[in-house]
Amino acid sequence: MMLRRQVREIGRIQSMRRLSCKSPAGRDQAFSLAEASKDPSRVRELRLEDSSPDLQCRNVFCEFAGGSCVCKLSKWIEQTHGRLSALRVMSLRDARLGKLPPSIWMLEQLEELDLRGNDLKEIPPGILGMRKLRVLKLDDNAFEAPPDGISELQNLSEFTI
Ligand SMILES: [Zn+2]
């Protein structure tokens, strides 16, 4: 629900004594690239999860065509990263991705990265450039070892694998 549009209506409920609001709308979350593209500088959390259409490949020249793929997301980050100054949280949870967008390391301002539920075998060393990362979730992937040099991320306070 677009809760922001409903606020006036809710305010007319005269019998209201307690209002609980858990809708993510208004917290500057985006759940698709189209949504995030409307005003990239306001997006604090970008969540492309499960079978997000933004992670389904329609590029016939791509080796992952027809399946989960990051080519669209990677290009979007390349084109948009300069305007993503508010972005702190990215989730690509349960997307069954075999690799990460090569451009994801441009997002040096990220504080939380949720990659649970993918098919990742390794994390490229680019992650060591994410100096502000506090939370890194890698559970349910195909790793054999934790990412090299992970101890260099000095702000990391939550790490799951
Ligand atoms: Zn692709």
Beta-ladder partners of 30:
46
- CA 74 to ligand 1 centroid distance, Å: 10
Residues in the chain: 161
| pLDDT at residue number 25 | 55
How much distance in Å is there from the Cα of 66 to the middle of ligand 1?
Answer: 8
pLDDT at 5: 59
Quote the ligand 1 centre to 95 CA distance (angstroms).
Answer: 13
Q: Which domains does the chain have, with CATH numbers?
A: 26-160 (3.80.10.10)
How many Å lie between the centroid of ligand 1 and the Cα of residue 61?
8
Q: What is the 3-state secondary structure (H, E, C) of 129-149?
A: HCCCCCEEECCCCCCCCCCCC
Which parts of the chain sit beneath pLDDT 50? 1
**Calculated CA dihedral for residues 44, 40, 26, 137, nearest 10 degrees:** -30
Task: Check: pTM over 0.85? Answer yes or no.
Answer: no
Residues 81, 107: contact at Cβ < 8 Å? yes
| Gap from CA of 149 to ligand 1 centroid (Å) | 29
pLDDT score of 114 = 98
CB atoms within 10 A of CB 39: 12
